[in-house]
Amino acid sequence: MRAAVAGATLPDHQPSWEFPFYDSGHDEFRARVRARLADAVLPGADDWERQGFIGAAGWRALGAAGLLGEPHDGPGFLRSAVLLEELGATGYAGVRSAVGVHAYMAASYLLLFGSEAQRAAWLPAARRGERVTALAITEHQAGSDLSDLRTVAVPRPEGGFRLDGHKCYIANGTRAGLLVVLARTGAPREAPDPPRRAPGGGNGLAGASLLLVDADAPGVVRRPQPMSGYRSADVAEIVFDGVDLPADALLGRPGRALLQLMRALDFERLVAGLLAVGGVRHTLELLGAHLAARRMRGGPLGARQAVRHQVADLLAEYDTVRRYAHHAAWLHSQGRLDTRTASVVKLRATELAVGAAQTCARLHGAQGYLEDSAVARVHRDALAGTIAAGASELLRDLIAEAPAT
């Protein structure tokens, strides 16, 4: 369905019409995803926003709809690109963040680095929505720059680890059953890390490892951190107070977290960018409906030249960013995604989301500030996208430092 925005129209969003690497099967898949999201997300999304998390029934509905188990790589990832854009276009950024972290970001670490036993233990239930996953990476003093990481997992003489530390701003934090935790283990590395920076700066992740932690284990304490936006993302702080972990909690090889993060973060940023592209589409559709309905001086508000030019700038940027994002998705499906491309996608898509939300709210006037309006939700959610999964300032550094291709 086409949406008009100040006389212009958004693309029909049929992948096979716009991109040579999509076919009619992707068009049909998009239609199915839209229908499933309408059934599994939209009926409960406002309640999830109010309560601050997706409930257990909601997660199971997402799993039953097949929305939690699409491929992470290879040609099948193009289906995920379609799904991620449509998930973003629901207009609930908290939901898209929670689902994105669960189904793509946290799960990607299991797929990339987990043993067969670890995957078998966690992934089937995660794909059914029966066991929610979360990434426990960030700390108060270690966000974009992880070199000041203070969470520690001390190896025990009898085997395993004792985990102590404090994580914050963790999506799915109170409802997750599995936490992927970054901690210093001090374990010897089998080979020296290459001279690359830790994500965000420094080289201070020597001896750090990734661990799989049962969120219900004794010593794990979780507290909600209510946010002004992303309200249904279940953001929380998590304290680890002497949590005993078995030896098989280690994800991949010991002391290799830097390399693991370097490999996974480009994918996370591509996912975040595709979700944001869908969010921009939703914002433009909200704006288009308002500009057509709002009358000013005998005609629709969207007919005013000053308004049309603002919309034209948004549409031009949207078309450009969307095409770049799907090209990056294709690169990933071919195993060719690089840091610069992933960073550009995430930077441009999330910053466009902020600009589109501001324009949408401003042109709605006072209506755009009503607390329970969709416009207000889009406006308060947009800024968080420029912070999570790599702040814009960090991404600009990465883009500037990456070799031109």
Give the CATH number of the domain where residue 397 resides. Answer: 1.20.140.10
Average pLDDT along the chain, 405 residues, taken 10 residues at a time = 52 69 92 96 96 96 95 94 97 97 95 96 97 96 86 94 98 98 73 44 76 98 96 98 97 93 94 98 92 72 76 94 97 96 98 96 88 92 93 94 75
Residues in the chain: 405
**H/E/C letters for each residue in 102-138?**
HHHHHHHHHHHHCCHHHHHHHHHHHHCCCCCEEEECC
What whole-number distance in Å separates Cα of residue 276 and Cα of residue 270?
10
- Residue 19 in domain: yes
Look at residue 369 in the predicted model and tell me its pLDDT. 86
H or E stretch covering 300: strand 299-300
SS3 content of the chain, % helix, strand, coil (to 5): 55, 15, 30
Question: How many Å apart are CA 329 and CA 270, to the nearest integer?
Answer: 7
Whether 274 contacts 363, CB under 8 Å = no
Give me the pLDDT at residue 186, please: 80
Claim to verify: residue 241 and residue 150 sit in the same structural domain: yes
Q: Quick one: tokens of 163? A: 């985990």
Q: In this structure, what DSSP letter does residue 139 have? A: B
At residue 5, the pLDDT reads 59
Angle between helices 93-100 and 42-51 (to 10 degrees): 90
Q: How is residue 403 annotated by DSSP? A: P
What Cα–Cα distance (Å) separates residue 316 from each residue in 10, 158, 280, 303?
11, 61, 12, 18
Q: For residue 373, what is the DSSP state?
A: S
Of residues 82, 294, 261, the one with CA closest to residue 182: 261
Structural domains of the chain, count: 3
pLDDT of residue 2: 45
Look-up of token digits 């914002």:
283
Q: Does residue 4 fall inside a structural domain?
A: no
Same domain, 250 and 138: yes
Nearest partner of 376 among 388, 365, 387, judged by Cα:
365
Answer yes or no: is 2 within a domain: no
- Report d(CA 280, CA 322) in Å as an integer: 10
Helix (H, G, I), strand (E, B) or coil at 361: helix
pLDDT for the residue numbered 20: 87
The domain in which residue 91 lies consists of 12-127
In a domain, 307, yes or no: yes
Three-state DSSP class for 54?
Answer: coil
**Same domain membership, residue 397 and residue 264:** yes
The reply to whether 1 falls in a domain is no
pLDDT of amino acid 190 = 40
Decide if 116 contacts 110 (C-beta within 8 A). Answer: no
List C-alpha distances in Å: 187 to 166, 176, 212, 240, 259. 20, 27, 16, 19, 15
Q: Judge if 226 and 323 occupy the same domain.
A: no
Contact assessment for residue 180 and residue 135, using Cβ atoms and an 8 Å cutoff: yes
Domain boundary among 127, 156, 184: 127
